[in-house]
Chains A and B, each alone.
Chain A
Amino acid sequence: MNERVAPERLAPEPRAEERKAPPAQTAATGYIGASVPRANAKRLLEGRGCYVDDLKLPRLAHVVFFRSPHAHARIRKLDLSRARTQPGVLAAFDGRAIAEYCSPWVGVLGHLKGIKSPPQHAVAIERACSQGEAVAAIVAETRAQAEDALQHVEAEWEELPAVTGMEEALAGRTVIHPELGDNICFRRELATEGVEQAFAAADLVVEETFGFGRHTGVTLEGRSILADYNAAEHSLTVYQATQAPHMMQDIFSRHLGIPEANVRVICKDVGGSFGIKVHVYPDEMATAAISVMLRRPVKFAADRLESFLTDIHAREHKAKVRLACTRDGRILAFDLDDLTAIGPYSVYPRTSGIEGNQVVNLTGGPYRHQEYRARLNVVFTNKNVTCQYRAVGHPVAVALTEGIVDVAAAKLGLDPAEFRRRNLIPDDAYPYTFPSGIKFEKLSHHQCLDKLLALMDYAGLRAEQAQLRTRGVYRGIGLAAMIEVTNPSPAFYGVGGARISAQDGATVRLEPSGMVTCLSSVTEQGQGTDGIFAQICATAVGVSVDQVRVITGDTGVTPYGGGTWASRGAGIGGEAVLQAGKALKSNILDLAAAVLGADKATLEVRDNAVCDKATGESKLPLAEVGRIGYFRPDTLPLKFQAELSATRHYTPREYAFTFTNGIQASLVEVDTDTGFVRLLKHWCVEDCGTVINPLLVDEQIRGGIVQGIGAAMLEECLYSAEGQLLNGSLADYLVPMTGDVPDIEVAHVCTPTRQSELGAKGVGEAGTAGAPGAVMNAINDALAPLGARVTDQPFTPERILKALKKV
């Protein structure tokens, strides 16, 4: 049974300037903190959702792509003439033809100093730089006809040397983009003044190198887009499985030369995103361009092989980390050297420098040392591109930090939990500036640690572990403390010149019947945006949650905003909903005061009616407010204009990021004969501030943990030395299935952010951030008595047996 935090503890603490005012109705009552099932799940349960590939429009054409079979090759000849004559084929285009309609892009950001990347086209011209890069597009009346025609594309290739290893790329003997001078996309170094001194003076210095496999998001719904160009009005409507409709509106507008307001991006049901669907993909840009070229709707839906080849990959890091500490177990300094490979281009518009940059920012994050040195090299290779996937950099930073912390604890003979207790930043030390420069508003590491140890019965498990070892059963317990970036301000992308909104907006409208419609710029990908916004809106206005309808994912309808990424929807978009709801309530009370001839201050909205604040007596149902406001305004005072909708926006400004914290634990059993690891149990204590819906929050954490377990145990995009992907199907690339994962216990500590009235921080990535480190430490704890240790994810049976020197 998971612990539920009592509702009164979830109420946001009022900001200083508001403390004198009587508590708002929103603060202590309503649906904040209630496990309300989300209304929009019902259509999905009946198979009546609408994903992009479910859509059909008149004159719909289908596009498929002819992709490079080589990791690096020059196109000697590309003849599309036979493909064009195949049954049903409407058109075939090469990169030059598409480039007439879609301008190339460069994935750099101003605040990542020195980051570089060459221009990238929607369809490659002259040269392919990774296997799977599209070099031609075939359009036909059906997808099957388009796929049939692919085999009639005649291509001749001149293979070029493929750079596939990270060290090889860094050495730069072969440079992928000669005009850039070397294979280094981005480099960052930082060092605090006393770091050398700290290492020199330390009683103990430990060092370890950790490897992180390249893996990918595996959204069950592949990337998909339906672009519908209307030549008569030079407008483009795009139905897209995307997390950021307004960002895509801007990008389609600028790269296709269509005025921004003529581009509408609609995001209906989305079959999983996890960061995969927040980037600009060349084949999707080409699909939009082809709709313009053919003046008709065109659809592209990636199949599973295309997904493995071209959905962004992530991780692929090799990181050496050193830790200096005193003999009584006080950490003095961390030293990081991280190398990561991103494929041949930095992905547009968020860049592929962010993940490495996060590793630099976050390494050592939970601890109170003051000295830090970090070096980061982000290099180009001839594999698929990598970019931001769920938890971006956190799983790397957490695992290497927690891995080296366990090494130090073992050397000192200290229990891992006790070593962490001595070094976690104290709960009363905030606000706090970390040596990498990031700032923490308020974290709760020690409360979380205490709660976790009690939840899992740490002492009991240690005793059981010791007893089982005497019988040859190798169990391990692993801990991973973490911090997590959420609610990003414009410091993430906007300051670097990217047209990506850090603010979100909400419009809340009273309908004539007394129902409330809430339009938000955050999108719904299954995480429950619609559900929690209905709860916030209902609470703010004073209506029951079934009276609220939420609309998201349509740039033609909702306010402007960022969408879903970086654990920002609840904290940023939710605050906008709260403020818009409060404004609407105020407007409702203005009307009611005019109708009732009462003082507005004596009125309140509760249970779908305006009532007397003191007695609670119902005075005017909201249906009556709507009827008068919309149909009989003639009965209102002459100068009174009813305003029964309100729009508000919110941007976090005080901190660049609103950090959360948490700690996870994993219990595993290693079969030392087969190398198989059985995950027996997993625990997570997390502090995401105000919990709007405990049911949804816990399931976000569980789902995130299981993706982290996938990374730790199963998932890796395997490439040959020539740059050929070796496992491009779900039969070969393994993801966790029901039998691979344990039950997961989740509990919370609640430290609301004071930057917003709602007090919510993000939670969607926390599980993924911490799980691999916890699992790794548990496996190594199990292996410790055998003198074995693993540091390269994923921890396959083969790697375990190698560590045990059995193969």
Chain B
Amino acid sequence: MEEFFETTITVNGTPVTRRVAARTHLVDFLREELGLTGSHTACEHGVCGACTLRVDGQILRGCLMLAVQANGRKVDTIEGLSDAGEIRDLQAAFHERNALQCGFCTPGVLMTAQELLRDRPEATRDEIREFMSGNLCRCTGYQAIIDSIEAVLIARRRTGRL
């Protein structure tokens, strides 16, 4: 029989407690149990980055972490970052530059980009390409994504947000 564990996770700032099957991946827990469907599963192999989440402030693959491993930790999703207004400038830049098409990779791309903007304020265009190389986008060919991130990086430097 499956083993269940009482698990408490602070999701987008709100603690939630559920009995969770040990084998449930974090991204499946968020999608199925909490209805936070902004994080997507695509390769379920840790390769494509569509399920990228932030756990205790660091991005990771939601398909490579079990929900029970997040017990007592803080998890942020695209819905949380959007509502908090944390990446409003990044989302606006993506919109303006059409840096997304089908949008399936986009939440993961934005989560990764926000970490880059936070941790590597001096990143060059080549370094942006390197940092984003773990997020698969099948639609855009990446140039618009890189352009958007670069534009926000420059804007945030200018306005002192970095």
**Interface, chain A (partner B; CB < 8 A):** 37-38, 41-51, 53-54, 144, 217-222, 269-274, 303-304, 525-528, 695-696, 699, 702-707, 729-731, 735-739, 741, 743-744, 767
Contact call B38/A46, Cβ cutoff below 8 A: yes
Partner of B103 from the list A217, A269, A702, A729 (CB cut-off 8 Å) is A269
Contact call B101/A738, Cβ cutoff below 8 A: no
Q: How far is the CA of A296 from the CA of B55 in the complex (A)?
A: 38
Contact call A220/B45, Cβ cutoff below 8 A: no
Partner of A731 from the list B23, B47, B100, B104 (CB cut-off 8 Å) is B47
Contact call B101/A219, Cβ cutoff below 8 A: no
Q: Determine the chain A residues whose CB is within 8 A of the CB of B97 once the complex forms.
A: 695
Contact call A37/B129, Cβ cutoff below 8 A: no
Contact A738:B146 (CB < 8 A) given known A41-B100, A41-B103, A730-B43 = yes
Contact call A221/B42, Cβ cutoff below 8 A: yes
CB distance from A351 to the nearest CB of B (A): 25
Q: Determine the chain B residues whose CB is within 8 A of the CB of A704 once the complex forms.
A: 141
Partner of A702 from the list B23, B39, B79, B144 (CB cut-off 8 Å) is B144
Q: How far is the CA of A273 from the CA of B140 in the complex (A)?
A: 13
Contact call B129/A744, Cβ cutoff below 8 A: no
Q: How far is the CA of A742 from the CA of B148 in the complex (A)?
A: 16
The 5 closest A-B pairs by CB, nearest first: A47-B38, A44-B103, A526-B102, A271-B104, A526-B101
Partner of B37 from the list A38, A54, A735 (CB cut-off 8 Å) is A54
Contact call B43/A739, Cβ cutoff below 8 A: no
Partner of B132 from the list A144, A702, A738 (CB cut-off 8 Å) is A738
Instruction: Report 13 cross-chain contacts, Cβ distance below 8 Å, ordered by A residue.
Output: A41-B95, A42-B95, A46-B38, A47-B39, A47-B78, A221-B104, A269-B102, A272-B139, A526-B101, A696-B98, A730-B43, A731-B47, A741-B142
Q: How far is the CA of A218 from the CA of B139 in the complex (A)?
A: 10
B65-103 vs A, CB cutoff 8 Å, 1 = contact: the mask equals 000000000000111001000000001001111101111
**Majority secondary structure, A binding face:** loop
Partner of B133 from the list A217, A699, A738 (CB cut-off 8 Å) is A738
Say whether B117 faces chain A, with CB atoms less than 8 Å apart.
no
Q: How far is the CA of A53 from the CA of B107 in the complex (A)?
A: 16
Contact call A738/B39, Cβ cutoff below 8 A: no
Q: Determine the chain B residues whose CB is within 8 A of the CB of A144 once the complex forms.
A: 21, 23
CB distance from A420 to the nearest CB of B (A): 25
Q: How far is the CA of A695 from the CA of B100 in the complex (A)?
A: 12
Q: How far is the CA of A702 from the CA of B100 in the complex (A)?
A: 12
Contact call B138/A731, Cβ cutoff below 8 A: no
CB distance from A91 to the nearest CB of B (A): 22
CB distance from B127 to the nearest CB of A (A): 11
Q: Determine the chain B residues whose CB is within 8 A of the CB of A699 once the complex forms.
A: 98, 101, 140-141, 144
Contact call A51/B141, Cβ cutoff below 8 A: no
Contact call B47/A738, Cβ cutoff below 8 A: no
Q: How far is the CA of A687 from the CA of B45 in the complex (A)?
A: 40
Contact A47:B104 (CB < 8 A) given known A37-B95, A735-B136 = no
Contact A739:B141 (CB < 8 A) given known A46-B79, A221-B42, A269-B102 = no
In the complex, given contacts A50-B37, A272-B138, what are 7 additional A-B residue pairs having Cβ atoms less than 8 angstroms apart? A38-B98, A46-B79, A46-B91, A220-B102, A699-B141, A699-B144, A738-B142
B9-22 vs A, CB cutoff 8 Å, 1 = contact: the mask equals 00000000000010
The chain B residue sitting closest to A45, CB to CB, is B91
**Interface, chain B (partner A; CB < 8 A):** 21, 23, 31, 36-40, 42-45, 47-48, 50, 77-79, 82, 91, 94-98, 100-107, 110, 129-130, 132-146
The chain B residue sitting closest to A47, CB to CB, is B38
Contact call B78/A46, Cβ cutoff below 8 A: yes
Q: Determine the chain B residues whose CB is within 8 A of the CB of A739 once the complex forms.
A: 129-130, 133
Contact call B45/A705, Cβ cutoff below 8 A: no
Q: Determine the chain A residues whose CB is within 8 A of the CB of B132 once the complex forms.
A: 738
Contact call A49/B43, Cβ cutoff below 8 A: no
CB distance from A19 to the nearest CB of B (A): 35
Contact call A271/B103, Cβ cutoff below 8 A: yes
CB distance from A375 to the nearest CB of B (A): 34
Contact A270:B98 (CB < 8 A) given known A220-B138, A304-B45 = no
CB distance from B38 to the nearest CB of A (A): 2
Contact call B43/A729, Cβ cutoff below 8 A: yes
Q: How far is the CA of A53 from the CA of B94 in the complex (A)?
A: 24
Contact call A702/B134, Cβ cutoff below 8 A: no
Partner of A47 from the list B45, B82, B135, B146 (CB cut-off 8 Å) is B82
The chain A residue sitting closest to B99, CB to CB, is A699
Q: Determine the chain B residues whose CB is within 8 A of the CB of A221 once the complex forms.
A: 40, 42, 102, 104
Contact A41:B98 (CB < 8 A) given known A220-B40, A274-B138 = yes
Q: Determine the chain B residues whose CB is within 8 A of the CB of A41 once the complex forms.
A: 94-95, 98, 100, 103
Contact call B138/A735, Cβ cutoff below 8 A: yes
The chain A residue sitting closest to B130, CB to CB, is A739
The chain A residue sitting closest to B28, CB to CB, is A144
CB distance from A287 to the nearest CB of B (A): 19
Contact call A703/B43, Cβ cutoff below 8 A: no
Contact call A48/B140, Cβ cutoff below 8 A: no
CB distance from B82 to the nearest CB of A (A): 4
Contact call A702/B141, Cβ cutoff below 8 A: yes
Partner of A525 from the list B50, B102, B133 (CB cut-off 8 Å) is B102
Q: How far is the CA of A704 from the CA of B98 in the complex (A)?
A: 15
CB distance from A303 to the nearest CB of B (A): 6
Contact call A46/B102, Cβ cutoff below 8 A: no
Contact call A526/B144, Cβ cutoff below 8 A: no
Q: How far is the CA of A678 from the CA of B134 in the complex (A)?
A: 19
Contact call A702/B143, Cβ cutoff below 8 A: yes
CB distance from A676 to the nearest CB of B (A): 16
Q: Determine the chain B residues whose CB is within 8 A of the CB of A706 once the complex forms.
A: 140-142
Q: How far is the CA of A220 from the CA of B48 in the complex (A)?
A: 8
Partner of B139 from the list A526, A695, A741, A743 (CB cut-off 8 Å) is A526
Partner of B95 from the list A45, A48, A703 (CB cut-off 8 Å) is A45
Q: How far is the CA of A310 from the CA of B146 in the complex (A)?
A: 33
Contact call B40/A51, Cβ cutoff below 8 A: yes
Q: How far is the CA of A221 from the CA of B77 in the complex (A)?
A: 19
Contact call A731/B140, Cβ cutoff below 8 A: no
Q: Determine the chain B residues whose CB is within 8 A of the CB of A303 once the complex forms.
A: 44
The chain A residue sitting closest to B142, CB to CB, is A738
CB distance from B142 to the nearest CB of A (A): 5
CB distance from A166 to the nearest CB of B (A): 28
Q: Determine the chain A residues whose CB is within 8 A of the CB of B50 once the complex forms.
A: 220
Contact call B104/A51, Cβ cutoff below 8 A: yes
Contact call A47/B48, Cβ cutoff below 8 A: no
CB distance from A414 to the nearest CB of B (A): 32
Q: Determine the chain B residues whose CB is within 8 A of the CB of A730 once the complex forms.
A: 42-43, 45, 47-48, 136
Contact call A729/B47, Cβ cutoff below 8 A: yes
